[in-house]
Amino acid sequence: MTILLEANLTLFFGRFHPLLVHLPIGFIILAGIFEMISWKKKVDLQLAIAYALLAGAIFGMMAIVLGLMLASEGGYNESALNAHKWTGIATTVLSLAAYLLKKNLHKAAWMQKAYQSTLLLALITLTVAGHYGGSLTHGSTYLLEHAPGPVRQLAGLKPARERITVMDSALVYDDVIHYMFEAKCNVCHNPDKQKGALLLTEPAHIMKGGDSGPVIVPGDASQSELFLRVTLNPDHDDFMPAEGRTPLTKEETALLEWWIEKGAPFDKKVVELSREERINGYLREVGIGEKKPFLASLAIASVAREVQDEIVAEGFKLKTIATNSPWLEASYSSYNPDKLSEQKLSTLTNAKENITWLTLSRIPLKDDWLSHIGRFTNLTKLWLNQTAITDEGIKHLVQLKNLEYLNLYGTKLTDEAITDIRQLSGLKKLYIWQTDITEEGVAQIKESLPEVEVVYQYPSL
pLDDT digits (tens, 9 = 90+) for 347-385: 999 999 999 999 999 999 999 999 999 999 899 999 999
At residue 444, the pLDDT reads 92
**Burial call 344-365: b when 16+ CB within 10 Å, e when fewer:** bbebbebbbbbbbbbbbbbbeb
> How far apart are alpha carbons 161 and 169 in whole angstroms?
14
At residue 6, the pLDDT reads 46
4 and 12 Cβ atoms separated by less than 8 Å: no
- Please tell me the total number of residues recorded for the chain in this structure: 461
What residues pair up with 381 in beta bridges, in sequence order? 357, 405
> How far apart are alpha carbons 68 and 64 in whole angstroms?
6
Is the dihedral angle over the CA atoms 367, 373, 377, 381 positive or is it negative? Answer: negative
> Quick count: other Cβ atoms within 10 Å of Cβ 294?
14
> How far apart are alpha carbons 157 and 178 in whole angstroms?
18
At residue 244, the pLDDT reads 60
At residue 288, the pLDDT reads 85
At residue 386, the pLDDT reads 94
232 plus 266 within the same structural domain: yes
At residue 166, the pLDDT reads 82
134 plus 180 within the same structural domain: no
Residue 404: CATH number of its domain? 3.80.10.10
268 plus 129 within the same structural domain: no
252 plus 394 within the same structural domain: no
Q: Considering the domain boundaries, does residue 165 fall inside one?
A: no
244 plus 322 within the same structural domain: no
DSSP H/E element including 381: strand 381-383
Residues in contact with 82: Cβ distance below 8 Å, sequence separation at least 6, in sequence order: none
Residues in contact with 14: Cβ distance below 8 Å, sequence separation at least 6, in sequence order: 66, 67, 68, 69, 70, 71, 72, 73
Q: Considering the domain boundaries, does residue 147 fall inside one?
A: no
Q: In terms of pTM, does the model score above 0.75?
A: no
Q: Considering the domain boundaries, does residue 297 fall inside one?
A: no
Question: 399-453 pLDDT, tens per residue?
Answer: 998 999 999 999 999 999 999 999 998 899 999 999 999 999 999 998 888 889 9
Q: Considering the domain boundaries, does residue 238 fall inside one?
A: yes
346 plus 430 within the same structural domain: yes
Residues in contact with 426: Cβ distance below 8 Å, sequence separation at least 6, in sequence order: 294, 380, 400, 401, 402, 403, 404
Q: Considering the domain boundaries, does residue 435 fall inside one?
A: yes
At residue 5, the pLDDT reads 44
**What are the per-10-residue average pLDDT scores of the chain (461 residues)?**
53 79 91 89 86 92 88 71 89 92 85 90 91 72 61 62 81 88 74 69 84 87 89 82 77 92 92 87 82 69 92 93 86 92 93 93 93 93 95 94 93 94 92 92 90 74 40
At residue 212, the pLDDT reads 79
> For residue 176, what is the DSSP state?
I
Cis peptide, bond prior to residue 241, ω within 30 of zero? yes
396 and 371 Cβ atoms separated by less than 8 Å: yes
Phi and psi at residue 206, to the nearest 5°:
-60, -45
The structural domain count of the chain equals 3
Q: Which domain holds residue 267?
A: 173-285
219 plus 132 within the same structural domain: no
DSSP H/E element including 382: strand 381-383
Q: Considering the domain boundaries, does residue 113 fall inside one?
A: yes
445 plus 323 within the same structural domain: yes
Helix, strand, coil proportions of the chain in percent (round to 5)?
50, 5, 40
At residue 3, the pLDDT reads 44
DSSP reduced 3-state for 453: strand
Residues in contact with 355: Cβ distance below 8 Å, sequence separation at least 6, in sequence order: 327, 328, 329, 330, 348, 376, 378, 379
317 plus 273 within the same structural domain: no
Q: Considering the domain boundaries, does residue 164 fall inside one?
A: no
192 plus 108 within the same structural domain: no
Q: Identify residue 144 by its one-letter amino acid code.
A: L
Angle at 135 between CA 133 and CA 136, to 5 degrees: 65
Q: Considering the domain boundaries, does residue 154 fall inside one?
A: no
> Quick count: other Cβ atoms within 10 Å of Cβ 336?
13
424 and 400 Cβ atoms separated by less than 8 Å: yes
312 plus 275 within the same structural domain: no
261 plus 336 within the same structural domain: no
